[in-house]
Amino acid sequence: MATETAASAPSAPQTFGATACIIRRDDGVFVDPMALGQVFQAAVNDVFFSNQYFSKLDYAVFVKILYDCGPSLPRSTTGEALIRLAADVLPFKPERRALYKAVKLNHGEAEYYFEQVYLADPDNPDGSGTPTVLKFDEFVADMWMKGVRFGIDAVGVRNAISSGRTERVLVARRLDAAPGVNASIIEVSDHLHRSDAPRMLANGKLDLMAYQNRFPQIDKGERLLKKVPRSAGTLGFELAGTPIEPPIPSDIELGPMAGAGTVIDITGEGEFLVSQKAGFLSIDAGSGQLSVEDKIISREGVSSRTTGNLQLTGDYEEYGEVQEKRVLEGENITIHADVFGNIISRGGTILLNHNLVGGTAHNAKGDITVKGIASSAVLQTSEGTITLERAESCTISATRVKIDHATNCEIIADEVTITVAEGCAVAARKVSIEAAGPRKQSEMLVYVLLPDSSKIDEVMDQVSARVDEFGGLVEKRKLEMDTLTNMPDVRKYIMLASKVRKKELVLTPEQLPQFQKMALAVGPALKAITKVSLDLKAAETEQQAGKAMLAQLAQQKKDSGGGGQVELRAVSGDTLVRTMKFHADGKSVYDMQSKDIKAYLRGSSVGGDIIFSGSGGKVEWSFDA
């Protein structure tokens, strides 16, 4: 077998390329790391096109320097800046080059047919030649000359050469570009999602009709979302070394997701969507926009499927329906759709912009307004005004009630104002109805609430008797006081003692024993005077307290008894107007359970004196206690 003779090593370093970036030294072939890419490629061309090749080539380093593809370059153990590429640069002799056949290129892949090769014998040109083997380093140089400058499978080629088998081997493959990562938005708050798990009650049981946290609450300055910037992909390469550009990743803007109460905050940590205030999170299902509102805004309705029963701590606005038997409790509640369930407010207002059908509306302290129809419903407020456009078969109680058209309703309040009332039972201190009359089998009943002061009168009588009793005791003690103080010795001693105390009289040493003897003589009378004086003050105190209580009871009777009046401007059909007594004990006359109101107003034994009974005309009546 013919042997290859290495070129004699030069004593001085040899360089290749216009920038001399490849340096051949006695200890190997090195590359300047500052000259990469096309500069290095031009120097490689100088080597390969001058019929030379790199001996003991580190192919991974070769590809990394050419295309910045693959593992990182190895660090120098000697601190040298140059990168070692190969052991030497040797001549690629023509007879060796002739050993390498054509390569088959197909769809980004290169195939080579490996078989036994023979080196021509100059002494026997007609012979088959001397068997020899291919070399990986020469293979790289030959492929470069044939246009395969990237993606050689170094391990596969070396294995194919060393095996000696005749086979077709995939020796190189194109590297497709790796796509980048599109920009995205991630959640950075734990409060963005609702918890639809059943709510845990205080006794440890689960309320299957209520969720744990249907409306998340956000703190001021809380980061909600973060934009993750897009990242570029990596280049791919054709077999010829031509780069394949990756597709440009798509970008996304965080700004359109910033709704009311939020702001975009760009810091060194990234771009964030941040809440500007504390409140309730609202997400628009169409646009995905996040808002932080002072009140809860929902568009899904209240039902067993969406929210379950709700017990909220803030204001609430709902654009969907409230399902039958569902309970919504909060403050300042506004519903824009029909309500079939139960609305409970701890304060503020209840505003129903549509209908209340078969449900209830309770307000502990505040107004209730229904702009649609209230039908077969219960509306109650302990302190506030109920305003309805149309009410049918409803039970209503409030401080004040204002209705445009009421049919078959039971209404009790301090003041009631109705435009048209048909078949209703109405009780109030002040009643004003434009038109009143029956409705089918339901009669029209109007009650003027007047205080029943019998209990107050009974208490006043008892207190008055007690005041008189203490008045007599006061007079008795005053008489006893006058009797004791008018005794000659006592009166004389009191007069002298007063002058001595005021220093109007100065006793001489001879007079002092006489004065002390006088004090000793009237001592029992003075003790009796002191006792009578204390008894007198106690009796006067009790007398004044009784008088104050009488004044308070009289004022209570006056406040509760005045102002009873009724006005029916037009009566059409059988209508009955009567008085109705109530206990003036300071409690609200209308604040009672809804189930008791109908029995209270429709009972056969209800009512006192008849004010009016007829089927036409008008009624104007007032009572002043």
pLDDT one-digit tens code per residue, 596-625: 898 888 876 666 789 999 999 999 998 764
- Greater confidence (297 vs 170) lies with 170
Specify the pLDDT at position 197: 47
- Residue pair 181/175 in contact (Cβ under 8 Å)? The answer is no
**pLDDT above 70: percentage of residues in the chain:** 88
- Greater confidence (358 vs 456) lies with 358
Kindly indicate the confidence band of residue 213, based on its pLDDT and cuts at 50, 70 and 90.
very low
Catalogue the E-assigned strands of 115-158: 117-119, 130-132
Our CA dihedral for 521, 525, 529, 530, rounded to 10 degrees, sits at 60
Does the pLDDT value for residue 307 go beyond 90?
Answer: no
Of 14-23, 202-211, 395-404, the range with the lowest mean pLDDT is: 202-211
Instruction: Output DSSP code: residue 322.
Output: B
Per-residue model confidence as pLDDT tens digits over 25-63? 988 999 987 777 788 889 999 999 999 999 999 999 999
Question: What is the arithmetic mean of pLDDT over 512-538?
Answer: 76
pTM of the model: 0.53
Q: Rounded distance, CA 147 to CA 475, Å?
A: 136
- Greater confidence (455 vs 159) lies with 159
Specify the pLDDT at position 60: 93
Question: What is the arithmetic mean of pLDDT over 361-371?
Answer: 95
- Could you tell me the CA-to-CA distances from 2 to 5, 56, 95, 123, 385 in Å, in that order? 10, 20, 11, 12, 115
- Residue pair 98/120 in contact (Cβ under 8 Å)? The answer is yes
Kindly indicate the confidence band of residue 563, based on its pLDDT and cuts at 50, 70 and 90.
low
CA 611 to chain centre: 57
Specify the pLDDT at position 207: 45
- Could you tell me the CA-to-CA distances from 440 to 105, 286, 436, 617 in Å, in that order? 99, 50, 13, 20
Question: What is the arithmetic mean of pLDDT over 210-216?
Answer: 52
Per-residue model confidence as pLDDT tens digits over 547-559? 888 888 777 766 6
- Greater confidence (129 vs 383) lies with 383
Does the pLDDT value for residue 9 go beyond 50?
Answer: no
Specify the pLDDT at position 396: 96
Specify the pLDDT at position 109: 95
The token duo for 563 is: 């102002």
Question: What is the arithmetic mean of pLDDT over 211-239?
Answer: 83
Specify the pLDDT at position 423: 94
Specify the pLDDT at position 212: 46
Kindly indicate the confidence band of residue 171, based on its pLDDT and cuts at 50, 70 and 90.
very high
Does the pLDDT value for residue 211 go beyond 70?
Answer: no
- Greater confidence (311 vs 356) lies with 356
Specify the pLDDT at position 572: 93
Specify the pLDDT at position 2: 39
In the predicted model, what is the mean pLDDT of the chain?
84
> Which backbone phi and psi does 146 adopt, to 5 degrees?
-95, 10
- Greater confidence (211 vs 462) lies with 462
Does the pLDDT value for residue 155 go beyond 80?
Answer: yes
Per-residue model confidence as pLDDT tens digits over 89-143? 999 999 999 999 999 999 999 999 999 999 887 777 777 788 999 999 999 999 9
- Greater confidence (142 vs 78) lies with 142
Question: What is the arithmetic mean of pLDDT over 489-501?
Answer: 73
